[in-house]
């Protein structure tokens, strides 16, 4: 840690979807960097197990229920976290619904569930937690977008790609709104990474073709995503806001 960083375990970070594959990498790295971490998820069993693994006495890692499709759930979580520890200075909006679907037969209910859940989670996370950060004059928000939102999607459904494109726009909206209050808002746009959700989405017989289509010829390492999140959460990252960090193996170049 550098000279501008807070004392170890004084800064509070919140990660949504913390019990999932990518979420676990992010949580572990933020905790290793010296931050208290709240693991927010609807799967409390998995979130609690990871929290206890990181901090058996619950002094630096705790689980909390958070339904990212509900604004009131964000409000309730913020109130509990602030009363237990402090107003969070880091929020990682990682939770999302990932589904593959045929574009031309995609139903209204399935479309709305994925789109609203994924976009609401970012919007209300930035609105509720970002507002609290603005009041204290400092904060770092990192939103997990996706390559699918940039190239129109490949293995994922059109509803997922549309939601991730909206996330990048939402990131810019809140980056502009909160910049003067010391709060930065950035997104990370991963391509396919070596995670359970990727292997569940891509059938084994199609994986070879997927890898052949990636310029670097391999899946990404989620540990690097976690490092990037921690970098953007640093106090020295004050001049980076409204940006989208592409980590996609060369699949999308701009």
Please tell me the distance from the alpha carbon of residue 90 to that of residue 87, in angstroms, as a whole number: 9
Number of residues that this document lists for the chain: 254
The active-site residue out of 9, 65, 138, 160 is 160
Task: Output helix, strand, coil percentages for the chain, rounded to the nearest 5.
Answer: 50, 15, 35
Q: Sort residue 203 into left (φ over 0), alpha (ψ -120 to 50) or beta.
A: beta
**Which residues neighbour 117 within 8 Å (Cβ) at sequence distance 6 or greater?**
68, 69, 96, 97, 163
- Indicate the DSSP class of residue 193: B
- Whether 160 is a known active-site residue: answer yes
Q: For residue 204, what are the β-bridge partners? A: none
Active-site annotation, residues: 160
């Amino acid at each position: 840690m550098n000279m501008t960083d807070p004392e170890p375990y004084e800064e509070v970070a919140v990660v949504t979807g913390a019990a999932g594959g990518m979420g676990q990498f992010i949580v572990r790295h933020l905790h290793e960097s010296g931050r208290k971490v709240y693991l927010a998820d609807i799967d409390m069993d998995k979130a609690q197990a990871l929290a206890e693994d990181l901090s058996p006495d619950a002094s630096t890692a705790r689980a909390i229920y958070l339904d990212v499709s509900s604004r009131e759930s964000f409000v309730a979580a913020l109130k509990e976290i602030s009363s237990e520890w402090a107003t969070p200075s880091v929020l990682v909006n990682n939770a999302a619904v990932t589904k593959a679907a045929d574009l031309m037969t995609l139903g209204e209910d399935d479309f709305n569930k994925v789109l609203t859940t994924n976009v609401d989670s970012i919007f209300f996370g930035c609105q509720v937690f970002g507002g609290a950060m603005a009041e204290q004059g400092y904060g770092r928000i990192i939103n997990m977008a996706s390559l699918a939102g940039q190239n129109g999607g490949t293995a994922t459904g059109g509803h997922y790609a549309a939601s991730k494109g909206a996330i990048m726009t939402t990131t810019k909206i809140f980056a502009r709104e909160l910049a003067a209050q010391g709060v930065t808002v950035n997104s990370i746009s991963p391509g396919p990474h070596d995670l359970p959700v990727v292997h569940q989405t891509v059938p084994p017989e199609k994986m070879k073709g997927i890898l052949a289509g990636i310029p670097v010829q391999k899946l990404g390492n989620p540990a690097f995503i976690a490092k990037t999140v921690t970098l953007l959460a640093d106090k020295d990252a004050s001049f980076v806001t409204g940006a989208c960090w592409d980590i996609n193996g060369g699949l999308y170049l701009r």
